[in-house]
Structure 1
Amino acid sequence: MSLLAANPIPYWASAGKTREVFAEAFADFQGIGFTAVKADVPEGMTASEYRDWIGGYGLAPSLSLFNSPFDETVALGAEIERARVFAGDQVALGLDRTMISSMARPERLAQPAAGAGFDAARLDQAIEMCGEVCRVLRSEGLRPLHHSHVGGIFETEHEITKLLDDLGPEVIGFGPDTGHLRWAGIEPAGFIRRYADRLGGIHIKDVFPDHLGRNDLSYHDAARTKRLWAEPGLGVVDFAAVLDAIPADYDGDFMIEVDEPSVDSKRESHRMSFDWAVKALAGRLR
């Protein structure tokens, strides 16, 4: 059975990752009924202190995300050391897995979901770097799961499948985001079925049809229209097919993520998402 987690992105995206911002999000999540939250240990706080803090709101830590450009803008040694520190916190929280992603190539943020500036050599180098970081995470007791994200170096179906196939299941697992896959033109259910034996976590995200197949707005401009991300069930992701593709023995959590709510209230957005999830995931949650 899985936990139903929430990612407080809309709380901190513009306000910053402050203690006050997180406290507001945690109080909302507790009031709505969520049982877990994405594990982001604030700077200056130990993993133990963080676990006690969210526990005060009735929340357990759920899988976090290690993010890197995996390109020429970062040094492998520095990313490996950052991964070791990150893994130490996550393992101390009692977690055994994490998402791993790339999400910030400038040309892809400017022209999202189109594979802008594709470079085969750069992709090969990114896969090699990602593999090294994954091996370090594994050595520290944390199972890495690739997390699809528009705007990163692993954006298109070709890039994601090459990453997963080249590195193999011994190095990297699979932790998809249904909304990012759909925005990139990938049918989530079929893709999840393809890598179902490597599935260790999932972000439940819906997407409106308004910006699909278009790249006339930047990533952030599209999000600001409030017609990109949708609360689950309001967009075009076929969640019946997605849930059918998830193996019966799936042991990961379900994390609700709506980066930019389609409604004015962050709390109301999460309440809508929670109500949908309780019905759609009946029998899968603890």
Structure 2
Amino acid sequence: MSRLAANPIPYWATAGKTRAVFAEAFADFQEIGFTAVKADVPDGMTAPAYRDWLDGYQLRPALSLFNSPFDETVEPAAEIEKARRFAATQVELGLDRTMISSVARPERLARPAVGAGFSEDRLTRAIDLCGEVCRALQAEGLRPLHHSHVGGIFETESELTRLLDDLGPDVIGLGPDTGHLRWAGIEPAAFIRRYADRLGGIHIKDVFPDHLGSSLSYAEATASKRLWAEPGLGVVDFDAVLAAIPADYDGDFMIEVDEPSVASKKESHRMSFAWAQAALAGRIDP
């Protein structure tokens, strides 16, 4: 059985990853019924202390995410060392895999989901660096899974398939985000089916149709509260997504609604949890 986990991103996206912010999220998750949460260890806290803290809320650490621009703004040796430190912490928490994602190209945040400012040289360099980071994570005992994300250097379908096909299954697996794929004009179920043998984790996220294909920036679309949707309220075909996931899938199902469509973060997660209990029955731990 897989676990149903939650990512507290709407709690910390503007307030920061502080202990007080996480404590609010953890208390809400415990009350709602979640048993696992994305493993983000606050600065200054050890992995054992973090795990003990989660225990107090009857939560377990779940699939986390290593972020990098993978572009000319970063020094490869520094990114590889950062990946090693990240992996050591995750393994200490008892995790055997992580998502890995590219983030925050300025021109793509300004014009999201269309591959703005494409550069073949930049993409080639990013694939090479991502491969080196993946190998560093593997060397520490952590399986890397590529996580699709609008705004990053691997954004469009052609860029995602180049990354996955060039590096191959021995280097990188798949940890998709259904909402980010759909925003980028990629059919999540078909994409997951194509790489189903590499699937090791998934973010369950829905999108409203309002701003798909619009000229809004990433920040404007998110702030509208008409981009991200609680699962089942938007246009992602989750019946097809779940049908594309292999029967022997053993990764986490992680709920992620970056900006809830309702006023309350807690209510957003309660709605998502109720959807998951019905839609994922038989696939997740009761």
TM tier relative to shorter chain? over 0.9
d(CA) in 2 for partners of 1:18, 1:162 = 37
Task: Provide the residue aligned with 1:224 in structure 2.
Answer: 223
Q: Distance in 2 between matches of 1:185 and 1:69?
A: 22
Question: CA offsets, 1:176-223, max 9 Å, x none?
Answer: 000000000000000000000000000000000011122x11101100
SS at match of 1:24: helix
Taking the aligned partners of 1:3 and 1:56, their CA distance within structure 2 comes to 18
SS of equivalent residue, structure 1 residue 169: coil
Q: Distance in 2 between matches of 1:183 and 1:234?
A: 15
Q: Which residue of 2 aligns with 1:99?
A: 99
- The root-mean-square deviation of aligned C-alpha atoms, in Å, is 0.4
The 1-side partners of 2:18 and 2:212 are apart by 33
TM-score, L = length of structure 1: 0.99
- The residue that corresponds to 1:151 in the other structure is 151
* Cα shift readout 1:109-167 (whole Å, capped 9, x = no counterpart): 00000100000111000000000000000000000000000000000000000000000
TM-score w.r.t. length of structure 2: 0.99
Q: Secondary structure of 1:223's partner?
A: helix
- Counting only pairs closer than 5 Å after superposition, residues 113-262 of structure 1 correspond to structure 2 as 113-214=113-214, 216-262=215-261
CA drift of 1:260 comes to 0.1
What is the identity, as a one-letter code, of the residue corresponding to 1:162?
A: R
- Following TM superposition, by how much is the alpha carbon of 1:55 offset from its aligned partner in structure 2, in angstroms? 1.2
1-side partners of 2:51 and 2:167: how far apart? 33
Shift of 1:235: 0.1
Match of 1:3 in 2: 3
Give how far 1:267 is off. Answer: 0.1
Q: Secondary structure at the match of 2:73?
A: coil
Letter in 2 for 1:247: P
Instruction: Give ranges in structure 2 of 5+ residues lacking alignment.
Output: none
In structure 2, what is the Cα distance between the partners aligned to 1:17 and 1:116? Answer: 30
Identity, % of aligned positions: 81
1:99 alignment partner AA: M
Give ranges in structure 1 of 5+ residues lacking alignment.
Answer: none
Amino acid at match of 1:124: T
Alignment correspondent of 1:281 = 280
Match of residue 47 from structure 1 = 47
Counterparts of 1:161 and 1:48 in 2: how far apart (Å)?
Answer: 37
Between the aligned partners of 1:204 and 1:273, the Cα distance in structure 2 is 9
State the aligned residue count.
285
